[in-house]
Amino acid sequence: MVENAEIIESVRTLPARVAAELEGLSENELRWRPADDAWSIKEVVGHLRDDSEVWRRRLYMMITKTEPVLPAYDQEALVREREYQDADLGAIIGDFQRFRLDVAENLKTLTGDGWERTGQHPDWGQMTVREGMERMIRHTDGHLDQLRQMKEKARGA
């Protein structure tokens, strides 16, 4: 099992890892899409920002309520609605980092049994705080791999 401190550190540092991966990319590279219906690098980062905002809310609910129903969201609609393609990448990453720092700070307040508090997600079922944070980290790591691949293709486009 992953230690609590490792989870907190991963939550806290993932935005900086994403930002470092995108360092030096041009606006054209950030806006490049691998297909007409696919997200650009900026939109993927916007999605990570949104996901972090939602997880901040989910975590708060799990900490403060008994068996809350955790919100799901339409990630495609939110990325379109927020128009990340035309947004400032620094602002997107700033929000991403702020939301993740809030999550890390809330996690630091938990005692051992706090990590086992649960919530009910409409698609994923019941999960503990630990399971939710591990899911969030895996999700971000997957998108970090996606960003690395996109970066290489955008540079060659």
> Could you read off the pLDDT of 9-45 as tens digits, one per residue?
999 999 999 999 999 999 999 999 999 999 999 999 9
Q: Which two tokens stand for residue 46?
A: 């916007």
pLDDT of residue 10: 95
CA pair distance 79, 156, nearest whole angstrom: 25
pLDDT at 156: 81
Q: The tokens of 83 are what?
A: 């128009």
* pLDDT the model gives residue 111: 87
Identify any residues that bridge with 120 across adjacent strands, giving them in sequence order. Answer: 69, 126
| 148 or 156: which leads in pLDDT | 148
The pLDDT of residue 72 is 94
pLDDT score for 2: 72
Q: What confidence tier does 66 reach under pLDDT thresholds 50, 70, 90?
A: very high
81-128 pLDDT tens trace: 999 999 999 999 999 999 999 999 999 999 879 999 999 999 999 999
Taking residues 134-156, report their average pLDDT.
94
- Distance between CA atoms of residues 93 and 99, nearest Å: 10
The rounded distance, in Å, linking the Cα atoms of 111 and 52 is 22
pLDDT for position 51:
97
Q: What are the C-alpha distances in Å from 136 to residues 33, 51, 59, 81, 128?
A: 24, 8, 11, 22, 12
Domains along the sequence of the chain with CATH: 4-156 (1.20.120.450)
- Three-state SS at 119: strand
| pLDDT confidence band for 1 (50 / 70 / 90) | low
The closest of 126, 103, 132, 83 to 14, measured between CA atoms, is 103
CA nearest to 43, candidates 87, 91, 101: 87
Residue 94 DSSP one-character state = H
User: Helical H runs in 23-128?
Assistant: 27-31, 41-64, 75-82, 89-108
